[in-house]
């Protein structure tokens, strides 16, 4: 028997220490040897290796910590007293925290390893010290958010996380897009924090303490109206961070702007801290007795986010923006699980809620891994081809075969196709929703089938989008010189992606360990005594409640491979051996196929753009140059714009009205001293009249 | 037990795979008859496959390894699906491996690779096909899921064998209006999924209209054979799904030879019957413009939704 | 002993002023000012050590008086003065080099800087309300020429408004003091002591509530004008915007706290005498109004220093609101915020000074890409903005959190929500303009360079202090604030 | 201590106080800057007289110095300084009014009523003495507000100084009326402050005149928002 009591604090210390050192040591180096750590300086490489090396070590420790908590089920608890006036604070890592720590650490390990190679790009251009310091403190604050057991501590880490990411987003601040993204991000996240602060204060007003323990005890006893306000505040506050629609506007701007290793962490795990917060507040603090409309609201948000997220992704040709929109989509899918769990719990059907919650949490882990993988892949592409615009890419599968392979794994996983991990969590979500149809309520009966249908739509659209993303980026002929000259990434980068790809496969084929860990976790969150809502039997996921709906991804994979092998063997032995020949692609009778004859990403997404034209409101402009003669036109430009409904009809009007209100109020500062004196006069008179 | 499983395994594979070209042949023959042609023999698809198997494989110089592995992925996923769908016997021995959702997603897996290959060879037609295929698949999916949802909800499980079982024990519910509506929804969906008129024309190679064919334009020889065969299998699977999920009459519940014989007979009858209906629809309808297809699928979606609402009201 | 400390605190600035009055050499002026700042700060530390146990000290005749509250604020003031003195040396040298400042102006600057500190000390150390008033008015007079320092149209305009408005306000405050005196005359033994804190507080419960209520209205308007509570704040953006940057910093970090100190004193007195929610309600209303009125000016602003001035209005609002909440925790938060705000304001004003020297413009739209030109100052600027607007890991976050907690404790849910909303919105304005200034590429050729290392080190230390306050409150400091909060409790 | 006839003193105080108020009203009603200064000098003189009467009538000898200071500084020194300023800058009249004189006078009437109500509420205090000098309190509050009112409605820098000084006179009068003045040293300090303030403002008037070529503070409007 392992001594968890001794091991866990040690692992925690190593993890936190690793990140902290990874932040502090480069900072000290940077201050001591300012010149040698400048871009191009002799120490920059060392700074990079120290910083990301420590991050890697810390991430590995984090994996161990997470595993130990998840397996043993014993939470890690630590307390300390920072100052008298705020009282005792503590760290508390229960299985829920451990799950998220696990996601961070797995992806963190990969991202750190990836960065060792990837960050070399910045050696000559950018302050490596800054990157490393920010990166490590970013991850550290994420961990802090997950283990904080006190509202002040939580907000502290929460805001540190926002702060570090802000500087990471604006890391390449010469780009206007990065500055804009940073601004949008920091403003949105700050508004979110304001809601969170209100939420904690409301909880505090009843619990009388900011310790999460007190929230846990008293949260369920709040008056119903307060509970609902807390719920709404949490939904908005955490939702902004998670990137739910309509609070998503920052996300597609911010994630692409950051360096790719950071985008991977942001998209893969940072937005999950929003999910963590929601689960923590909804189930741990407020739950499990909750009003029915919560679940409906969350499901509505979930469906909107997932469908619109993927639709917007389809219109994107910037690889990283595209991935960012998919994050919105996947947050939607996660929230489908969470929302369904809320809905079922409100009807008192906790075992069912457990299934839904497991589905959501499983997808958290999955999304962290495949989205991380995809962002790292996008980073590799960017690194090699110096562009994120897929219209300029193509043919990379031959130039960077391993990257292409790993990206393909990620693409299959995110599209929810068997036998990879995305499929399992979507399958569980479907199961939970199907079972929930038996709840005798009209709203539920309408909401659930629609959710199911739209989840199916989401999955299909995601597949379409990744056919586009992978196909246009990696297949065919290179569409630009950059793409043509691209080369394979360095070993550390490939290793990182390979690790994540393996995880995608592992989590897809062997869901057993995860489910067996998630089931007690979800049961305890919902205060459901029994576990075993999802049973693992010989590699098969079984849901006993649903007349034994089951799936065995391992067997499925086995069958797929074996059955594919039969014709493969047959064809390669009997047919192909001598009679295969290479020929150019048919080019409609032209001499040679040209990259420009290929389908473009814009063209690829056109059918969907037309089908969903009400959502996209696309406008295009065709520019035909009249030079040198109207009969011979060397260049034709085609520019396509899709309109962001939320920006146009929600944010811009709000922004405009705030500005015009501010303009009106600003008139009080007239510049005329007589007016100012009149203010004093009037204030005095008013006080004398009313405040005597 | 192991032998039974192995036997049933082979039985199912052989039944579906071997039958698939025949069903396609029957549909072609029927369509020819409708067009007052004599048409090729119903066995023509078999001849085609054999012929293709013997041909050279011509590979584009642009193509990557994906080009080589896709036919196997597609074929293999179709065959695996055929193992999960009850055809003659219920429960299927491998029903625990995957349910109806797995089936739908396995279809998607095959389609995903196929669409990728469309882009692999840098051909303009490939991209066109992939784009259309994925677009239409996207809007098919919700309707299909809803139609299946009705069946699954009735049975309380997504396990195909369970669905079939439940329905065979209460045959009256087969004529339930919600059930019939769901069937209608699934029928429309099946036409779209299997690339039949009015959504796609399996016989055309005109770039304005083709969808499925455009993706596989660069394929030849045994690869093409595998892909063609896979799509024939896909058609049979859909017919089987429609037949057995909604009208599981005559299905064998044991592995006794007599039951199997009855089951196989019933299955053949149902599949061929449905194939004839498909042929009828194909012959009496024109292919829709691409952007009219969503309207058709919205109809399917509404049908499925109606069936659910009816299920809720009538409470089958 | 106590006379020595108090004497030092008052005498050092006086000596500094006198020395500056007679000496004209730049180096000597600098040395005198810096050493006066440093020595005053040391004496302030000594004072704090003396009143650590919650005791009070007063000079033998009873004219001078200090308790934990005044000691705490003296620390802030003298610290700010030291920082500003250190910063001013480099700042003015550059201004002289650029030909913006003449030798005579330099002399005037240091003279008035010392006088300014001196007047603030008078306010903080006097036991007598009358002297408190005299000191307050004198702060206005001492800074009048500093605001008008550059003798441009704008600065003269600002100075005129500053002096007139503050004098009017302080006039009303005098009437308030007279009313207080009036209410005390018959209660306090010995009419000579009737203006002394030490005696007033002893008999506070016997003072006539009706008169004190009226007195408080005048006091609030009077010192509220000095502190810059909306709508009495109108002079603030002008004065802060036009004064030389170090002076703006000292006004924002020092003068404001001096005015707040006077307000707090009377608040305690009135609260004890009147009781109930009279003074607290007024404070909360003024606090929220100040925060609210400052907001649109921060959202739409052209001049960074004016923006900081409005931020000062906002933060005065925060502090006054916190005091109005009226629980020990709120007092603690308010006092902690006093310190945090002072630190953050100094960082920002002084970095704004660096930016202005480098770009030669006060308009924010002229400044872009500062991080390329003056990397250290620009980093300080953006980090300072985060610190000021209440982001962890900086101290302002902790104090604001404490304040809202205290508000919720008292059940002021709606005001607290307003409070949070305004703070969040203020940040939007700040980060919008700051990020434009700091990031990107400079769009005009930038002539000036980075500030001298001394100034940067000082700024770095200030930021480090803010950071420290955000993660850890040193026990001695906590003790001092606790004691000061106890004074506020009455 | 010479024996005095208290009712006579009180009568005189009443008369002087009323005259002080009248001077304030006259300032409101007039246009000439020179006249303002003269009125202010008169007002300060009257104030000094009131202070002297307090000394005589109530034996508050410490006021004596304040009274002398009032007369010396406010009635003589400051008017002299301000007159010099006017001579130097050649400005004679307030031209544009923000409020017509009639309306201003009516408004000031309202101010007096308000001031009286405030004063009454102060004098309701249990230990208030009903002497004549406390009755003056309402005059003093009215003076403060009228002073501010003048500053609010006039546009010459010099007039603003006059308004400010009127306010200060009001405050001083209030001190006299209810507390027989502040302790001497405080009083001296206050005088010093006011003197310095006027000097500084005088310097600013010069500078404004030099920079803007006018002492109309309406030109001081570049700092907005």
Tens digit of each residue's pLDDT (9 = 90 or more) over C430-445? 999 999 999 999 888 8
Gap between the Cα atoms of C218 and C172, Å rounded: 5
Gap between the Cα atoms of C380 and A313, Å rounded: 38
* Contact (CB<8Å) D122/C306: no
- For D208, the closest chain C residue by CA position comes to C156
What mean pLDDT do residues C287-296 have? 96
Banded model confidence at residue D4, pLDDT cuts 50, 70, 90: low
Gap between the Cα atoms of C14 and D117, Å rounded: 44
Residue A78, H or E segment: strand A76-80
Per-residue pLDDT of chain B (316 residues; tens, 9 = 90+): 667 767 777 788 888 899 899 999 999 999 999 999 998 999 999 999 999 988 888 899 899 999 999 999 999 999 999 989 998 888 888 888 889 999 999 999 999 999 999 999 888 888 999 999 999 999 999 999 988 888 888 888 888 888 888 888 888 888 888 888 899 999 999 999 998 888 888 887 777 778 888 898 889 888 999 999 999 999 999 999 999 988 888 888 887 888 888 888 999 999 999 999 999 999 998 888 888 888 899 999 999 888 888 887 766 4
- Contact A342/A294 with Cβ under 8 angstroms? yes
Q: How many CB atoms lie within 10 A of CB A50?
A: 17
pLDDT above 70 for D2: no
Look up residue D41 and give its DSSP letter: H
Report CA-CA distances (Å) from A273 to A156, A157, A280. 14, 11, 10
Q: How many CB atoms lie within 10 A of CB D116?
A: 16
Report percent pLDDT > 90 for chain A: 65
DSSP H helices in chain B: 2-34, 44-54, 65-84, 100-120, 124-155, 160-169, 177-193, 212-215, 221-246, 257-284, 293-314
* Contact (CB<8Å) D174/C175: yes
Residue B137: both structure tokens together: 């698949």
Poorest-pLDDT segment among A304-318, A525-539, B289-303, C145-159: A525-539
Gap between the Cα atoms of B244 and B264, Å rounded: 12
pTM, to two decimals? 0.94
Residue A404: both structure tokens together: 């292409």
Domain span including residue D68: 6-89+102-212
Neighbours of chain B (3+ CB pairs under 8 A): A
Residue A105, phi then psi, degrees to nearest 5? -70, -40
- 3-state secondary structure (DSSP) of residue C187: coil
pLDDT above 70 for A682: yes
Cα of D6 to nearest chain C Cα, Å: 22
Q: How many CB atoms lie within 10 A of CB D213?
A: 10
Neighbours of chain D (3+ CB pairs under 8 A): A, C
Would residue D220 count as lying in a domain? no
* Contact (CB<8Å) C164/D222: no
Assess A229–C contact: CB distance below 8 Å, yes or no: no
Which ipTM value was assigned to this complex?
A: 0.93
Residue C368: both structure tokens together: 């872009």
**Mean pLDDT, rounded, of chain C:** 92
DSSP H helices in chain D: 6-29, 33-58, 62-69, 78-89, 101-123, 132-135, 137-153, 157-179, 184-212
- Contact A463/A417 with Cβ under 8 angstroms? yes
pLDDT above 70 for D195: yes
Residue B262: both structure tokens together: 């009855």
* Residue C40 preceded by cis peptide, ω within 30: no
Burial class (CB in 10 A: 0-12, 13-18, 19+), D62: middle
Contacts of residue A692 in chain D, CB cutoff 8 Å? 121
C 204-223 residues with CB < 8 A to A? 213-214, 217-218, 220-221
Closest CA to A342 of A302, A306, A299, A307: A299
Contacts of residue C165 in chain A, CB cutoff 8 Å? 673, 676-677, 680
Gap between the Cα atoms of D37 and D40, Å rounded: 5
Check residue B316 and give its pLDDT: 46
Gap between the Cα atoms of B45 and B71, Å rounded: 18
D/B touch flag: 3 or more CB pairs below 8 Å: no
Banded model confidence at residue D3, pLDDT cuts 50, 70, 90: low
Closest CA to B225 of B35, B86, B51: B51
Contacts of residue C140 in chain D, CB cutoff 8 Å? 197
Across the A/D interface, how many CB contacts are shorter than 8 Å?
37
C 220-249 residues with CB < 8 A to A? 220-221, 225, 231-232, 234-235, 237
What mean pLDDT do residues C52-74 have? 87
Q: What does DSSP say about strands B57-60 and A580-583: parallel, antiparallel, or unpaired?
A: parallel
Contacts of residue C219 in chain A, CB cutoff 8 Å? none
Residue ranges of domains in chain C: 2-489
Cα of C123 to nearest chain D Cα, Å: 13
Residue C349, phi then psi, degrees to nearest 5? -60, -45
* Contact (CB<8Å) A672/D153: no
The total of structural domains in chain D comes to: 1
* Contact (CB<8Å) D151/C160: no
* Contact (CB<8Å) D148/A674: no
Burial class (CB in 10 A: 0-12, 13-18, 19+), D88: exposed
Gap between the Cα atoms of C51 and C48, Å rounded: 5
pLDDT digits (tens, 9 = 90+) for A256-280: 999 999 999 999 999 999 999 999 9
pLDDT digits (tens, 9 = 90+) for D152-165: 988 888 899 999 99
- Contact B198/B286 with Cβ under 8 angstroms? yes
C 416-445 residues with CB < 8 A to A? 416-417, 420-421, 423-424, 427-428, 431-432, 435-436, 438-441
* Contact (CB<8Å) A661/C296: yes
A 393-432 residues with CB < 8 A to C? none
- Contact C167/C137 with Cβ under 8 angstroms? yes
Cα of C334 to nearest chain A Cα, Å: 13
Contacts of residue D155 in chain A, CB cutoff 8 Å? 674
Across the A/C interface, how many CB contacts are shorter than 8 Å?
153
Half-sphere exposure of A246 (CA within 13 A, CB side): 9
Gap between the Cα atoms of C297 and D46, Å rounded: 46
Would residue D148 count as lying in a domain? yes
Check residue D1 and give its pLDDT: 45
Assess B316–A contact: CB distance below 8 Å, yes or no: no
DSSP string, B39-54: ---TTHHHHHHHHHHH
Burial class (CB in 10 A: 0-12, 13-18, 19+), B302: middle
Gap between the Cα atoms of B107 and B133, Å rounded: 12
Q: How many CB atoms lie within 10 A of CB A391?
A: 16
Cα of D139 to nearest chain C Cα, Å: 13
- For C412, the closest chain A residue by CA position comes to A205
Residue B14: both structure tokens together: 């052989």
Residue B246: both structure tokens together: 């909604």
DSSP string, C306-366: HHHHHHHHHHHHHHHHHHHH-SHHHHHHHHHHHHHHHHHHHHHHHHHHHHHHHH---BGGG
pLDDT digits (tens, 9 = 90+) for C262-278: 999 999 999 998 888 89
Residue A437 has its nearest CB partner, among B98, B111, B153, at B153
Q: How many CB atoms lie within 10 A of CB B202?
A: 20
What mean pLDDT do residues A212-241 have? 92
Residue ranges of domains in chain A: 347-569, 612-643, 646-690
Residues 6+ apart with CB under 8 A from A650: A246
- For D170, the closest chain C residue by CA position comes to C175
pLDDT digits (tens, 9 = 90+) for A520-545: 999 999 988 877 788 877 677 777 77
pLDDT above 50 for A396: yes
Assess C337–A contact: CB distance below 8 Å, yes or no: no
pLDDT above 70 for C190: no
Residue A681 has its nearest CB partner, among D98, D148, D155, at D148
Cα of A292 to nearest chain C Cα, Å: 26
Vertex A571 angle, CA A569 and A572, to 5°: 65
Cα of D46 to nearest chain C Cα, Å: 20
Residue C201: both structure tokens together: 């507080």
């Amino acid at each position: 028997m392992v001594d968890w009591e001794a091991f866990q604090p040690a692992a925690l210390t190593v993890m936190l220490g690793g990140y902290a050192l990874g932040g502090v040591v480069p900072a000290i180096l940077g201050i001591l040897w300012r010149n040698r750590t400048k871009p191009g300086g002799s120490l920059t490489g060392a700074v990079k290796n120290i910083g990301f090396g420590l991050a890697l070590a810390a991430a590995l420790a984090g994996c161990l910590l997470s595993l130990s908590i998840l397996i043993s089920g014993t939470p890690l608890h630590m307390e300390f007293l920072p100052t008298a006036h705020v009282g005792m604070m503590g760290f508390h890592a229960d299985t829920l925290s451990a799950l998220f720590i696990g996601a961070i650490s797995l992806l963190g390990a990969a991202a750190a390893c990836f960065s060792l190679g990837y960050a070399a790009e910045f050696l000559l251009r950018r302050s490596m010290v800054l990157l490393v310091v920010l990166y490590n403190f970013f991850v550290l604050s994420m961990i802090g958010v997950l283990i904080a057991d006190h509202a002040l501590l939580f907000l502290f880490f929460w805001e540190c996380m926002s702060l570090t990411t802000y500087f990471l987003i604006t890391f390449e601040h010469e780009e206007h897009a990065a500055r804009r993204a940073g601004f949008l991000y920091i403003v949105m996240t700050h508004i979110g924090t304001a809601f969170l602060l209100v939420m904690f204060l409301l909880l505090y007003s009843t619990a009388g303490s900011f310790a999460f323990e007190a929230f846990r005890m008293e949260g369920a006893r709040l008056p119903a109206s307060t509970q609902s306000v807390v719920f709404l505040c949490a939904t908005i506050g955490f939702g902004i961070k998670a990137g739910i629609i309509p609070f998503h506007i920052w996300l597609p701007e911010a994630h692409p702007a950051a360096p790719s290793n950071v985008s991977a962490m942001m998209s893969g795990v940072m937005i999950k801290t929003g999910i963590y917060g929601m689960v923590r507040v909804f189930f741990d603090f407020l739950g499990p007795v909750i009003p029915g409309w919560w679940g409906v609201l969350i499901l509505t948000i979930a469906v909107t986010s997932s469908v619109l997220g993927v639709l917007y992704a389809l219109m994107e040709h910037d690889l990283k923006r595209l991935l960012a929109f998919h994050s919105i989509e996947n947050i939607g899918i996660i929230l489908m699980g969470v929302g369904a769990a809320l809905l079922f719990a409100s009807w008192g059907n906790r075992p069912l809620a457990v299934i839904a919650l497991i589905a959501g949490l499983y997808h958290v882990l999955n999304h962290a891994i495949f989205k991380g993988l995809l962002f790292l892949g996008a980073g590799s592409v960017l690194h090699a081809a110096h562009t994120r615009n897929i219209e300029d890419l193509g043919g990379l599968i031959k130039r960077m075969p391993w990257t292409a392979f790993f990206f393909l794994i990620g693409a299959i996983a995110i599209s929810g196709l068997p036998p990879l991990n995305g499929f399992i969590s979507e399958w569980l979500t479907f199961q939970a929703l199907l079972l929930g149809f038996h709840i005798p309520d009209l709203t539920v009966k309408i909401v659930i089938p629609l959710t199911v249908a739209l989840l199916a739509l989401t999955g299909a659209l995601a597949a379409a989008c990744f056919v586009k993303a992978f196909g246009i980026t990696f297949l065919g002929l290179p569409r630009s010189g950059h793409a043509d000259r691209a080369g394979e990434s360095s070993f550390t980068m490939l290793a990182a992606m390979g690790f994540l790809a393996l995880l995608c496969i592992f989590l897809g084929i062997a869901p057993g360990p995860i489910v067996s860990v998630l089931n007690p976790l979800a049961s305890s969150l919902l205060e459901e005594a029994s576990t075993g809502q999802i049973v693992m039997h010989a590699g098969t996921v079984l849901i006993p409640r649903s007349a034994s709906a089951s799936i065995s991804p391992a067997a499925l994979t086995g069958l797929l491979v074996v059955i594919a092998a039969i014709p493969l063997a047959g064809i390669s032995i009997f047919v192909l051996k001598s009679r295969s020949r290479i020929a150019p692609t048919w080019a409609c009778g032209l001499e040679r196929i040209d990259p420009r004859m290929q389908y473009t990403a814009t063209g690829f997404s056109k059918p969907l753009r037309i089908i969903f034209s009400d959502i996209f409101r696309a406008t295009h402009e065709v520019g035909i140059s009249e030079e040198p003669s109207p009969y011979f036109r060397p260049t034709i430009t085609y520019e396509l714009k899709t309109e962001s409904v939320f920006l146009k009809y929600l944010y811009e009007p709000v922004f405009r009205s705030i500005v015009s209100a501010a303009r009106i109020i600003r008139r009080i500062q007239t510049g005329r001293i007589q007016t100012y004196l009149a203010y004093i006069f009037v204030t005095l008179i008013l006080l004398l009249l009313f405040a005597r | 037990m192991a032998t039974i499983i192995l036997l049933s395994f082979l039985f199912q594979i052989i039944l579906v795979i071997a039958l698939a070209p025949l069903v396609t042949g029957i549909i072609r023959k029927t369509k020819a008859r409708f067009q007052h042609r004599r048409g090729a023999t119903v066995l023509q698809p078999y001849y085609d496959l054999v012929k293709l198997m013997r041909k050279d494989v011509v590979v584009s110089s642009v193509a990557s390894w994906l080009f080589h592995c896709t036919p196997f992925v597609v074929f293999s996923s179709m065959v695996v699906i055929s193992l999960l769908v009850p055809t003659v016997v219920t429960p299927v021995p491998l029903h625990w491996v995957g349910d109806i959702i797995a089936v739908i997603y396995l279809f998607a897996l095959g389609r995903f690779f196929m669409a990728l290959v469309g882009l692999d060879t840098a051909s303009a037609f490939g991209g066109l096909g992939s784009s259309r295929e994925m677009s239409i698949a996207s809007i098919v999916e919700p309707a299909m899921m809803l139609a299946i949802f009705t069946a699954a909800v009735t049975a309380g499980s997504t396990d195909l064998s369970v669905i079939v079982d439940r329905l065979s024990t209460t045959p009256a519910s087969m004529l339930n209006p919600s059930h019939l509506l769901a069937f209608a929804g699934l029928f429309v969906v099946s036409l779209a999924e299997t690339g039949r008129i009015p959504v796609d024309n399996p016989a055309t190679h005109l770039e304005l209209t083709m969808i499925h064919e455009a993706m596989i334009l660069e394929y030849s020889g045994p690869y093409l054979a595998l892909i063609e065969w896979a799509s024939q299998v896909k058609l049979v699977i859909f017919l089987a799904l429609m037949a057995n999920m909604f009208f599981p009459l005559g299905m064998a519940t044991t592995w006794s030879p007599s039951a199997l014989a009855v089951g196989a007979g019933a299955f053949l009858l149902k599949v061929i019957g449905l194939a004839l209906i498909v042929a009828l629809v194909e012959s009496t309808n024109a292919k829709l413009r691409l952007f009219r297809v969503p309207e058709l699928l919205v109809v399917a979606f509404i049908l499925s939704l109606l069936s659910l609402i009816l299920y809720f009201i009538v409470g089958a | 002993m106590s006379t020595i400390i108090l004497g030092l605190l008052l005498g050092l600035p006086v000596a500094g002023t006198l020395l500056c009055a007679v000496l004209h050499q730049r180096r000597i002026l600098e040395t005198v000012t810096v050493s006066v700042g440093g020595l005053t700060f040391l004496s302030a530390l000594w004072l704090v050590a003396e009143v650590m146990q919650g005791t009070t000290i007063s000079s033998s005749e009873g004219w001078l008086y200090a308790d934990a509250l005044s000691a705490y604020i003296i620390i802030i003031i003298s610290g700010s003065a030291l920082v500003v003195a250190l910063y001013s040396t480099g700042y003015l040298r550059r201004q002289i080099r650029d030909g913006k400042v003449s030798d005579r102006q330099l002399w005037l600057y240091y003279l008035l800087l010392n006088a300014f500190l001196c007047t603030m000390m008078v306010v903080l150390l006097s036991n007598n309300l009358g002297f408190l008033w005299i000191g307050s008015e004198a702060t206005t007079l001492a800074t009048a020429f500093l605001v008008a320092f550059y003798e441009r149209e704008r600065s003269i305009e600002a100075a005129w408004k500053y002096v007139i408005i503050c004098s009017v306000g302080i006039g009303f405050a005098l009437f308030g003091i007279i009313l207080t005196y009036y209410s005390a005359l018959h209660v306090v033994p010995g009419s000579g002591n009737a203006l002394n804190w030490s005696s007033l507080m002893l008999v506070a419960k016997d003072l006539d509530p009706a008169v004190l209520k009226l007195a408080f209205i005048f006091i609030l308007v009077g010192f509220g004008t000095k502190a810059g509570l909306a709508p009495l704040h109108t002079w603030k953006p002008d004065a802060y915007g036009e004064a030389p940057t170090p002076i703006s910093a000292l006004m924002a970090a020092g003068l404001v706290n001096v005015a707040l100190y006077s307000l707090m004193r009377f608040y305690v007195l009135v609260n004890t005498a009147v009781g109930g929610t009279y003074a607290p309600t007024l404070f909360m209303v003024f606090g929220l109004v100040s925060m609210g009125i400052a907001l649109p000016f921060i959202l739409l602003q052209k001049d960074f220093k004016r923006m900081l001035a409005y931020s000062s209005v906002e933060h005065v609002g925060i502090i006054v609101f916190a005091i109005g909440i009226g629980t020990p925790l709120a007092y603690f938060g308010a006092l902690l915020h006093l310190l945090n705000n002072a630190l953050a304001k100094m960082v920002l004003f002084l970095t704004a000074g660096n930016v202005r020297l480098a770009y030669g413009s006060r308009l924010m739209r002229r400044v872009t890409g500062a991080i390329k030109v003056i990397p250290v100052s620009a980093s300080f600027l953006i980090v300072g903005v985060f610190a000021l607007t209440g982001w962890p890991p900086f101290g302002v976050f902790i104090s604001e959190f404490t304040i809202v907690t205290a508000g919720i404790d008292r059940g002021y849910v709606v005001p607290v929500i307003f409070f949070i909303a305004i703070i969040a919105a203020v940040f939007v304005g700040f980060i919008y303009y700051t990020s434009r200034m700091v990031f990107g590429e400079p769009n005009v050729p930038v002539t000036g360079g980075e500030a001298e290392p001394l100034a940067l080190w000082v700024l770095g230390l200030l930021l480090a202090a803010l950071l420290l306050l955000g993660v850890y409150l040193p026990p001695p400091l906590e003790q001092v604030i606790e004691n000061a909060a106890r004074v506020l409790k009455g | 201590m010479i024996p005095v006839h208290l009712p006579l003193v009180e009568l005189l105080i009443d008369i002087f106080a009323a005259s002080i108020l009248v001077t304030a009203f006259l300032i409101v009603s007039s246009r000439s800057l020179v006249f303002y200064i003269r009125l202010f000098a008169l007002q300060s003189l009257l104030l000094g007289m009131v202070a002297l009467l307090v000394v005589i009538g109530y034996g508050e000898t410490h006021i004596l110095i304040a009274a002398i200071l009032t007369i010396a500084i406010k009635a003589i020194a400051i008017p002299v300084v301000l007159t010099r300023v006017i001579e130097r800058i050649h400005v004679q009249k307030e031209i544009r009014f923000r409020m017509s004189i009639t309306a201003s006078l009516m408004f000031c009437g309202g101010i007096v009523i308000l001031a009286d109500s405030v004063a009454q509420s102060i004098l309701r205090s249990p230990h208030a003495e009903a002497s004549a000098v406390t009755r003056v309190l309402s005059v003093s509050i009215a003076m403060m507000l009228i002073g501010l009112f003048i500053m609010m409605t006039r546009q010459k820098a010099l007039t603003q100084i006059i308004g400010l000084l009127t306010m200060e006179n009001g405050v001083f009068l209030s001190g006299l009326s209810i507390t027989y003045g502040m302790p001497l040293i405080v009083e001296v300090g206050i005088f010093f402050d006011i003197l310095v303030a006027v000097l500084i403002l005088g310097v600013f008037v010069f500078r404004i005149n030099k920079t803007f070529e006018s002492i109309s503070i309406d030109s001081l409007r570049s700092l907005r928002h």
